[in-house]
Amino acid sequence: METRKVGIIGVGHVGSHCALSMILQGACDELVLVDIEKQKAKSQAIDCMDTISFLPHRTIIKDGEIEDLTNMDIIVISVGNLTADKNRLNELKGSIETIKTFVPQIVKNGFKGIFVVITNPVDIVTYYVQKLSGFPHNRVIGTGTGLDTARLRKVLSQITNLDPRSIQAFMLGEHGDSQVANFSTATVNCKPLLEYLKENEETIGKLDLEEMEHRVSQGAWDIYAGKNCTEYGIGCTCSDLVKNIFHDEKRVIACSGYLRGEYDYEGIYIGVPAIIGRNGLEKIIELPLNEREKNKFKSSCELMSKYIDMAKEY
């Protein structure tokens, strides 16, 4: 019988809630928490262990060092902090310098699993985790626009008064200000979103789609304004990605994947819908885009390319 093992590097607000979400959902059997502040990792592990008596499944949880992650199936990288200046791109230098201190070591120690990257700016950091590790691109995945996609479905659910699980809509591009909502192929209750909104305009009202897109892209800052962090949504985003891998679900979710000509772009990681399974990212789904969406996605890709080049200096 296989034991599903996950290591988390960085267990502040984000990493600790990734751990808690995985424990609550039974996503893994063993969890190792690592942090530069060793007492924090130890305390988070003890706190997480206190939940086990209340759950229908058992997870072994412990703190550890980088050396303890060699036999993990998945390593989640969640180091770093959200910046107060509302620009994730400004975290780039510190994030790149930090991952350089442990990614090569993990690979040298013999890790052969899958990296899941949360650290911001996530698309660029995921690119450099792949470069530093030398792993195939399918085994290095960023959470990308996974959380933004959940926020889009939440907003549409609030507007339509329908369950978000009945809404199929994706945010594409950077996990940041340049992301774009793919309204043109979104569906609600299996009906095209734009058609549904038009048919129900009398009850829903006329919507400003670009304003809705902006509302989603700025969602993190509404949360940050009151608590100086985001944690619950990204915890579930991470757990969902991990479960997809372990259960070989072959389900389409939004994440940061490496483009090889999809959407007429290549050589970068960026938020796209993809099939996730036991082998990691198994296929990128190329959605049809209207002209507005194509232009915005192109701008987002160009911005990521610019910052990838900039990070070469760090």
Where in the sequence numbering do the catalytic residues fall?
A: 175
Which position has the token pair 């889009």? 152
Judged by phi (left if over 0) then psi (alpha if -120 to 50, else beta), residue 265 lies in beta
Classify residue 161 as left (phi > 0), alpha (psi -120 to 50) or beta: left
17 neighbors 234 (Cβ within 8 angstroms): yes
Per residue, the 3-state secondary structure of the chain, as one string, reads CCCCEEEEECCCHHHHHHHHHHHHHCCCCEEEEECCCHHHHHHHHHHHHCCHHHCCCCCEEEECCHHHHCCCCEEEECCCCCCCCCCHHHHHHHHHHHHCCCHHHHHHCCCCCEEEECCCCHHHHHHHHHHHHCCCHHHEEECCCHHHHHHHHHHHHHHHCCCHHHEECCEEECCCCCCEECHHHCEECCEEHHHHHHHCHHHHCCCCHHHHHHHHHCHHHHHHHHHCCCCHHHHHHHHHHHHHHHCCCCEEEEEEEEEECHHHCEEEEEEEEEEEECCEEEEECCCCCCHHHHHHHHHHHHHHHHHHHHHCCC
